[in-house]
Structure 1
Amino acid sequence: MKQLSLKCKFLLYGMVYCCMHLSTFAQDAGRYKIISYNVENLFDTVASNKYRDKDFTPTGKFEWNTQRYKAKLNNLSKVVDAVCDSTPLLFLGVCEVENKKVVKHWLKNPLMAKHHLGSIHFNSMDPRGISVALLYNKKLFTPKVKEAIHPRFDLDTSYKARNILYVKGNFGKEEIHVFLNHWSTRKGGAEKSDSRRVETAKLLRKKIDEIQAANINAKIIVMGDFNDPPFAKSISEVLNAKQSELTLKENSLFNLMSESALRGKYTFDFAGEQDMLDQIIVSENFVNNNCRLCIDKKRGYVFQPKWLMYKSSKFGPMPFRTYEGFKYVGGFSDHLPVYCDLIVK
């Protein structure tokens, strides 16, 4: 009887061990969503002593009140949930959030809460206080390193750029590096501000080179609002994000949005001038023939349903934003989100 009991114990331990490993495998295998979204001026309603955000208060130019704030959080939540479309969300990179409090408020929305999201955010040096935040699935990804990288410009030392957010962590047994960007504005003209984006691209490329020097097989995701299209010098030459998989080498970066840009897709429309400013860029090992973590169809997409657009009498279909000038129209954002599907084999 004792011998039988001992055998039963070993059998039970074996079953538990197998179940644990099967559970881990089942959790990791499948399809996951990666999204990048500039949510356009997601401010709370309280004036800050550190930033120029008084326009986004109840008495400010935009008459930004609690009702409008909550409506915007609801609208953005609908967008994220619609992009996911029942697929588990792994990463959501967001641009133009004011602070951690705003992110926490957003994550309490029922449509966001069901995605089990944690957040990583650092305040930026931007004069208006807008910054980036990485939202990640707490059940799938474990952050190990997080850092705010500060771009500096030799030709304009007084310019306060937004941080690049760097996060390293584990997705199952795989280590992933994520860089979230919101590069310098085009305000005043793309050419005048081009040097800042080129310098930011150099800094980002240096960080990526350091990672790849330590591990040539490092898995890297670069996303955000670059304020430059895929074919701009800053992205195609300095960052060296390739547009064709035929030109990829072992340590190359591949721009998942290039094909969509070539087809005339866009994420931002300024007075009828359309551009693919929001992009997802990945290391070559996400799209090669031997990948275990693979980008489905080796491309990214712009999410552009009819309800996310409105028809301008002057410029035709445009992203349905929150304001037209100072007039509240109750839309979503002046940018469209981009996304890709990550397949785990």
Structure 2
Amino acid sequence: MLFSFFKRSKRRQLHTIAFYNLENLFDTKDDPKTLDDDFTPKGAKKWSNKRYKRKLYKLAKTISEIGNEHATAPPALVGVAEVENKNVMEDLIGSEPLRDIDYDYVHYDSPDERGIDTALIYRKSNFTVKYSEPITLFVNNLNGERDTTRDILYVLGNLNGEEVHVFVNHWPSRRNGVNETNYKRVIAAETLKGYMAKIETEYVDPNYIIMGDFNAGPKSESIKNLMELPHLYNPMEKLHIPQERGSANYKRSWSLFDQIMVSHNFLNHKKGTHSFAHANIFDEEFLTEFNGKFKGTPYRTYAGRKYLGGYSDHFPVYIQLKFNG
């Protein structure tokens, strides 16, 4: 009985921080300012209100369960990518699996031509927002034209009373070739480092949580560029096994583009602070294809124009922090 009590007490001290690429979470309305036509009832994907509601429920259910093997509460922070606007964020946290949790969010419209953005969902009982802003990525294509890609979302807040600087990223895609687009992700890394340098002129030894879909693995040039900063730690690096495990799968090869890094401050055990406990990929069986040649890979919403009715083409990733009370 005593052992059981201490086990529950330890679980209550753990706080889950997650990131989830939601795979094109669009509403059904046509926005004339963005390229969202495919995700309308008359569009190529025949995106209906029924399909939208089904996806919202599935994503909300997933978010509510991330990290529940070790923690008693749903995630304190969840960074998300590929959300269209504030309306879908309202609909997501208002869906049945999340509606009774005290969630709120931070979101800004980005210049992305498809209209997809990043956002941060947070539990108001765990996290208080002090300041937020979008950080614009100034990246040009090879022809000199501006690549209107996603902003980096910056949120300063208090996590259980401890001040943290949170960045939610969705770096430029590899659609036009890995090598051909690599320079864009290097620029994203340099932009983030520059913003952190600015923070460090105002804050002494700041706590960083950097999360996102970086479209680059832990050993890529852009991530290595970011990790040159001596005060950062990437716990996700040990999770990536190309032939066995990752957060997304392409041509039967696993990648870990979805990562969460923290500053070394989270490796201490000082009272009133958080300590890093562990990291993982939330690749539960219910999120996977059940059979066929893609068995075990993320059960996605669409494969091209074919509607599958799944969750996302990415698994969520998460870390857990222990609060040292």
Task: Check if 1:301 corresponds to 2:280.
Answer: yes
Letter in 2 for 1:231: K
Task: Check if 1:161 corresponds to 2:149.
Answer: yes
Task: Check if 1:207 corresponds to 2:186.
Answer: no
Q: CA deviation at 1:287?
A: 1.6
Paired residues of 2:77 and 2:123 also in contact (CA < 8 A): yes
Secondary structure at 2:275 match in 1 = strand
Q: Which 10-residue stretch deviates more, 177-186 or 83-92?
A: 83-92
Task: Check if 1:344 corresponds to 2:323.
Answer: yes
Q: CA deviation at 1:123?
A: 0.6
Structure 2 alignment gaps of length 5 or more: 1-8
1:19 is aligned to none
Structure 1 alignment gaps of length 5 or more: 1-25, 243-248
Letter in 2 for 1:293: H
1:131 is aligned to 117
Task: Check if 1:317 corresponds to 2:296.
Answer: yes
Paired residues of 1:271 and 1:315 also in contact (CA < 8 A): no
Q: Which 10-residue stretch deviates more, 218-227 or 78-87?
A: 78-87
1:101 is aligned to 87
How big is each residue's C-alpha offset from its partner over 1:24-81, in whole Å with a ceiling of 9 and x where there is no partner? xx9xx82211110000000000000110101001111110000000000010011111
Letter in 2 for 1:318: T
Letter in 2 for 1:199: I
Normalising to structure 1: TM-score of the pair? 0.84
Paired residues of 1:91 and 1:134 also in contact (CA < 8 A): yes
- Counterpart Cα distance in 2 of 1:172 and 1:273: 39
Match of 2:58 among 75, 79, 85: 75
Greater fraction of residues in helix: 1
2:6 is aligned to none
Paired residues of 2:247 and 2:255 also in contact (CA < 8 A): yes
Match of 1:278 among 258, 261, 267: 258
Paired residues of 2:285 and 2:296 also in contact (CA < 8 A): no
Paired residues of 1:33 and 1:91 also in contact (CA < 8 A): yes
- Counterpart Cα distance in 2 of 1:117 and 1:102: 14
Query: What's the Cα RMSD here?
Result: 1.9
Paired residues of 1:241 and 1:255 also in contact (CA < 8 A): no
Paired residues of 1:241 and 1:254 also in contact (CA < 8 A): no
- Counterpart Cα distance in 1 of 2:50 and 2:96: 17
Letter in 2 for 1:329: L
Task: Check if 1:62 corresponds to 2:50.
Answer: no
Letter in 2 for 1:188: N
Letter in 2 for 1:143: V
Q: Which 10-residue stretch deviates more, 142-151 or 260-269?
A: 260-269
- Counterpart Cα distance in 1 of 2:103 and 2:265: 26
Match of 1:268 among 238, 248, 265: 248
Match of 1:335 among 298, 304, 314: 314
Normalising to structure 2: TM-score of the pair? 0.89
- Counterpart Cα distance in 1 of 2:151 and 2:24: 16
- Counterpart Cα distance in 1 of 2:241 and 2:276: 19
- Identity %, equivalent residues: 36
1:222 is aligned to 210
- Counterpart Cα distance in 1 of 2:127 and 2:294: 42
Letter in 2 for 1:270: Y
Secondary structure at 1:310 match in 2 = coil
Letter in 1 for 2:158: N
- Counterpart Cα distance in 2 of 1:158 and 1:108: 36
Once the two structures are superposed, the pairs formed by residues 111-260 of structure 1 within 5 Å of their partners are 111-153=97-139, 156-236=144-224, 238-240=225-227, 249=230, 252-260=231-239
Secondary structure at 1:194 match in 2 = helix
- Counterpart Cα distance in 2 of 1:230 and 1:240: 9
The structure having more radius of gyration, on CA atoms, is 1
Q: Which 10-residue stretch deviates more, 191-200 or 205-214?
A: 205-214
